[in-house]
Structure 1
Amino acid sequence: MKVSSKGEYALRALLLLGNHQGAVMGIQEISEKTLVSIHYLEQILLQLKKLGYLTSKRGAKGGYMLYKQPDEINLGEVIRELEGPLSPMSCASITKYEPCPLEEGCQLKPLWSLIRDTIAYILEQTTLEDLLENRVSLIKGEDLVVVKRTS
């Protein structure tokens, strides 16, 4: 799995809007604060709106704001909707599985599946609110450890 610039910029915009929850932010301001070009940002914000994460207001004081609460925005869902499957290889994908001619007896598939499951678990356990509050989850063995990052 590789997060493209679209996924990265979408998360930047969601974080910015989450930090200004309840306020309408114009696309120019969002662009300046996320370092994303207005043209590319428009496409991303429209997609996030279509997916139900944002709402918009027209007019001179128009712009975008979160439609959902930060604790309702699951990063696993956002990344899957924007980027597609979380699996690093299609042979290990659950949603977009593609068979491989070498799959039978493949010793790499368990690794790709573990990577997929680990990425999915972490993203699915993380909300926008977790990022806003600097809560990051790590897996150690079978235990989930919440690490508080101080900046």
Structure 2
Amino acid sequence: MKLSTKGKYGLRALIDLAQYSEDSPVSITSIARRQDISERYLEQLMSKLKKAGLVKSIRGANGGYVLAKEAKDISVGDVLRALEGNLEPVECAGLDPEGECKGADSCVTKYVWKRINDSINQTVDEIWLNQLVTESKCLGHTDNHLDYTKCKN
């Protein structure tokens, strides 16, 4: 499975939004600048995330974006599915009850594909946005170097 820039940049943008929108909405411009993402591309990503119910836009002079839910209630899977669609790297008609796979009854490889698909979905569904915000704060910067003394490890 290979994620596109939609998934990678969108997740970075949402982590940024979660970090900076606690007090007020965050502008596309500020997220784009901090994350080095094109504003136009970021607008497209935010539109998809808004449609999925993960962010809300606030109009006006002090407008911008905020999370539509608490960061602890948004999984990486939610974000990636909103931007990438289905995350399963293997489509197998034998796994679909209505699939038209002629060899489904005697095919054992479908169990391999199911385990791979289930493993990916389980992994991204068990990582929460608030955990990534905490990890991001852990990686503080001092003199352009990462300060690992802020980390728990």
Q: What TM-score do the two structures reach when normalised by structure 1? A: 0.75
Equivalent-residue separation in structure 2 for 1:93 and 1:26 (angstroms): 46
* 1:117–1:93 distance in 2 versus 1, CA, 3 Å: farther
Structure 2: 5+ residue stretches without partners: 137-150
* 1:71–1:128 contact (8 Å) kept in structure 2: yes
Match of residue 146 from structure 2: none
* 1:69–1:93 distance in 2 versus 1, CA, 3 Å: farther
1:69 maps onto 2:78 in alignment: no
Percent of paired sites with the same residue: 37
Q: Deviation per CA, 1:25-53, whole angstroms, max 9, x where unpaired?
A: 11111111122111111111112112211
Cα-Cα RMSD: 2.8
Further displaced range: 126-135 or 34-43: 126-135
From the two aligned structures, give the one with the greater strand fraction: 1
* 2:75–2:128 contact (8 Å) kept in structure 1: yes
**Post-superposition offset of 1:92:** 6.8
* 1:67–1:48 distance in 2 versus 1, CA, 3 Å: same
**Post-superposition offset of 1:94:** 6.4
From the two aligned structures, give the one with the greater helix fraction: 2
Q: Deviation per CA, 1:86-120, whole angstroms, max 9, x where unpaired?
A: 2111107968x865566554454332222111111
Partner secondary structure for residue 52 of structure 1: coil
Larger Rg: 2
Q: What TM-score do the two structures reach when normalised by structure 2? A: 0.74
Match of residue 17 from structure 2: 17
* 1:85–1:93 contact (8 Å) kept in structure 2: no
Match of residue 143 from structure 1: none
